[in-house]
Every structure is written in C-alpha cells, then in structure tokens.
Structure 1
Amino acid sequence: MEARMNGRANPDVTTAIQHLYKAIHAGGVDGRLLSLVHLRTSQINGCSPCVFASIESAHKAGETAERLHNVVAWRETPFYTEEERAALALTEAATRLQDGAPGVAAHATPAPRATGRVPTRCGSRRPAPRGRWPAR
C-alpha cells in the first residue's frame, strides 16, 4: 500500500497535523463522536490506513462494532443519536464540498442566504481583512 502523504517530504506538515489532532481531542468532544467523524471522513477520502486507525481508536473509546460497520450508511440505520447524525452530516458536507457528490446536497441543510454584509471585527464597524473570519 502506498502512503497518501509523504511525511518525510515536509516534516512540518506532519507536526502541524499532529498538533491539530491533539487540539481537537483536547476540545471536550466525546472521543467516540470524533472517531465516527474521522471514520466517515476516511471512508469518503478512500484512505485505508485512516479507516484502520479510526476503527482502532473507536474501539479504544468504547465504540461498538455494529455502529462502526454502519457508519457508511448512517442515514438508514437507527444506531446514531441526533448529535451524531448532525456531526456526520456536517462531516460529509465539508469533506465532499468540491465533488458535488449525490446524497450530500439531497440531505444537507441549505446554507443561510447571504446578506451581502461584510463581516466585521468583533466590537468594530470596520470590515475584517479580506479572506479572514472576524475575531471572536
């Protein structure tokens, strides 16, 4: 199996990804939910090592085999809570944004209409710099 990403080519990227994972897992979200999200993302991306790793971490977090086997068809199964369904829907929408995959648009909640207003900095009426989100 060929690696999808060569960590030796740019070790800073690997380090940054490791820091990102640590921050995500320290954020207070249930480990089982994070494992489900990672598994679904890995399935969509077709990353076999990632699927393996997410299943392994999900088992360690106490996830059941039944739920893991059904993540690929989460909409059609009764095994997931509303919170998990929302997280999986958001995961699919974000992961498949560019490919316009069928099923995502059919199930996704429409985005709020754009107001045409320019985002502003928090506590300021000045527009935020282009390409950046307002500070929180």
Structure 2
Amino acid sequence: MLELSEKTTLTEDNNVFQFSNPQKGVDGFLQVWNNTGLTQDICMAQLPGFANRRELMPVLALYFNGVGDGSNATADFTPIPRVYITSDYQETAVLQSAIETPMIWEYNLGALAEITTWNLLT
C-alpha cells in the first residue's frame, strides 16, 4: 500500500500491468507515475487512515482520468477529522453550511505511523 510521501510507477509488459514497490517521494504527497506507453486511468485506493480490514476489495478514493505516459497522478492527501459538539443537527443530517460551534479536537491521520482503530462514542 502506498503511504504518504511515497511514489510508485505503473508499467506494462505483455498486457501485464504492475506497480513498482513504493519509494520515497515528495513530502506530504502520494504519486503514481504512468510508464506504460499509453494513457491510463489511475485510481488511488485505501488511502492512509482509511483502510477497512473487513472489505475484501479496496475502497476507491481518488480517480485520475487520462494520465498520459510519462506523467503522474499526484495527490495532496491530508485527512484531518474535526470534532464539534452541538445540538443543532440530527445524527443523519447533511451539513449545508459551515458549523458555527468552536472545534474541540482535530488530528492529522496522515501522521499516524501505524494502523489504528478509533471508536467515537457519544
């Protein structure tokens, strides 16, 4: 799995597509290079902080359409959940505008060095 600040290269040989082992990339970004000789659609799945061990197939997270040969798909991925306490919304409500309550907590999930499970209790 590609981690934050890593890159990988997609290649093709006799109709077999393969990603290289991840290498050090640009700090704070995920990069996938296309070296297949053709334009490819590239999807980054199971981004850091969002893996689900109960799912057999990866969850598609970022999709890049038509990445040219020799080009790359680069994602600035900074997952930061924020917690607010308010009685203004129901549990299933869709937020239509900015929350007008002070934030009480936030954390950059991309900074986690290991797989972590969090349970939020109300």
- The two structures share one fold, judged by TM-score above 0.5: no
**TM norm structure 1:** 0.21
Q: Which has the higher strand share?
A: 2
Return the structure number with greater relative CO, CA threshold 8 A, min gap 6.
2
**TM norm structure 2:** 0.22
